[in-house]
């Protein structure tokens, strides 16, 4: 069984064309939609979406990511191999964090002429990335459609600060519940802050606890989410709406002490 995942900012229409291309090449492929609701052109959010699920997929899975503001320009199309997984998408950093999560990476530049003579300048998801993934799932060698390269766009989730009295971070994803997921790995937070510590953000206090139900309904809370990153949430509500924070926003959190 060949598993191909799709992550895009396309919404409801365009992924169907990608699936049609994949199934035309490999009718036996199993296609899984991770999400097609990544905020438009938000490369870091797309990277996080793949990062948050990649370890739950079997060896041999091919992950296609298309958040591609540079489509039709000089940016390369790439394939990344990490452990027993493959990642296919634009060379804009999107694929690197989830691939590195699995281990050392190898990067290949797709030779578009090996895929099709008719490639749209605005829809490489359909005309480049979908067929590349399908060919890999059918057992074609990567070097039949790509060449190895060391020249690629890198990206990670760094850029946070944890001090004795404050935390500075960036919002990398807001989920459908309105939970604010930051770029701080949970282990880095736990090295400095104990559960039960009182924090403050935008003039509001919140406790650093383990799960949402430890505060009352509408209560503001911080915790380590299931994805392993520091998160701010509202029990049965939306932290994003309450704090007026969205993907890419910077935030500063005060560390006030224990209860």
Instruction: Please give the DSSP secondary-structure letter assigned to residue 237.
Output: B
pTM: 0.94
Backbone angles phi, psi at 175, to 5 degrees: -85, 180
Q: State the average pLDDT over residues 204-220.
A: 96
Contact 14, 126 (CB under 8 A): yes
Residues 6+ apart with CB under 8 A from 103: 82, 83
Q: How many residues can be counted in the chain?
A: 259
Residue 6 CA to residue 173 CA, distance in Å, equals 18
Backbone angles phi, psi at 108, to 5 degrees: -130, 140
Q: What is the pLDDT of residue 259?
A: 59
Q: What is the pLDDT of residue 1?
A: 65
Backbone angles phi, psi at 255, to 5 degrees: -105, 110
User: What distances in angstroms separate CA 7 from CA 19, 47, 82, 191, one per listed residue?
Assistant: 12, 9, 18, 33
Q: How far is CA 210 from the centre of its chain?
A: 23
- In the chain, the domains with their CATH numbers are 2-149 (3.40.50.10790), 161-258 (2.40.30.90)
Q: How far is CA 17 from the centre of its chain?
A: 22
Residue 201 CA to residue 255 CA, distance in Å, equals 9
Output Rg (C-alpha) for the chain, integer angstroms.
20
Top-confidence residue, 255 or 117: 255
Q: What is the mean pLDDT of the chain?
A: 96
Given the DSSP bridges, would you call strands 29-35 and 2-8 parallel, antiparallel or unpaired? parallel
Residues 30-40 have pLDDT tens digits of 999 999 999 99
pLDDT band at 12 (very low <50, low <70, confident <90, very high): confident
Q: State the average pLDDT over residues 40-63.
A: 98
Q: State the average pLDDT over residues 117-136.
A: 96
DSSP for 115-138 reads T-S---SS-HIIIIIHHHHHHHHT
Task: Look at residue 258 and tell me whether its pLDDT is greater than 80.
Answer: no
Residues 6+ apart with CB under 8 A from 206: 198, 199, 200, 219, 220, 221, 222, 232
Residues 6+ apart with CB under 8 A from 66: 6, 7, 8, 9, 10, 18, 89, 90, 124, 125, 129
Q: State the average pLDDT over residues 50-55.
A: 98
Residues 6+ apart with CB under 8 A from 58: 3
By percentage, how much of the chain surpasses pLDDT 90?
96
Q: State the average pLDDT over residues 87-103.
A: 98
Residue 146 CA to residue 187 CA, distance in Å, equals 37
By percentage, how much of the chain surpasses pLDDT 70?
99
Residue 156 CA to residue 126 CA, distance in Å, equals 27
pLDDT band at 116 (very low <50, low <70, confident <90, very high): confident
Residue 68 CA to residue 220 CA, distance in Å, equals 35
Residues 131-172 have pLDDT tens digits of 999 999 999 999 999 999 999 999 999 999 999 999 999 999
pLDDT band at 91 (very low <50, low <70, confident <90, very high): very high
What is the token pair recorded at 119? 């490639």
Q: What is the pLDDT of residue 110?
A: 98
């Amino acid at each position: 069984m060949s598993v191909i995942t799709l992550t895009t900012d396309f919404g409801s229409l365009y992924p169907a064309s990608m699936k049609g291309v994949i199934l035309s090449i490999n009718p036996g492929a199993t296609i899984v939609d991770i999400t097609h609701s990544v905020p438009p052109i938000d490369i870091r959010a797309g990277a996080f979406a793949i990062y948050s699920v990649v370890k739950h997929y079997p060896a041999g899975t091919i992950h296609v990511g298309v958040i591609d503001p540079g489509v039709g320009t000089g940016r390369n199309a790439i394939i990344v191999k990490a452990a027993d997984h493959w990642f296919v998408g634009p060379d804009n950093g999107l694929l690197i964090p989830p691939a590195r999560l699995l281990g050392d990476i190898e990067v290949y530049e797709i030779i578009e002429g090996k895929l099709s003579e008719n490639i749209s300048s605005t829809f490489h998801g359909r005309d480049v990335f979908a067929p590349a993934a399908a060919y890999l799932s059918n057992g074609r060698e990567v070097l039949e459609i790509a060449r190895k390269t060391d020249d690629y766009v890198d990206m990670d989730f760094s850029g946070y600060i944890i001090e004795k009295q404050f935390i500075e971070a960036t919002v990398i994803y807001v989920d459908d519940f309105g939970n604010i997921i930051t770029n701080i790995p949970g282990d880095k937070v736990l090295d400095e802050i104990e559960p039960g510590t009182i924090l403050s953000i935008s003039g509001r206090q919140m406790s650093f606890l383990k799960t949402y139900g430890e505060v009352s309904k509408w209560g503001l809370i911080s915790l380590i989410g299931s994805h392993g990153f520091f998160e701010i949430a509202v029990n049965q509500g939306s932290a994003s709406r309450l704090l007026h924070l969205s993907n890419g926003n910077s935030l500063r959190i005060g560390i006030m002490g224990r209860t």
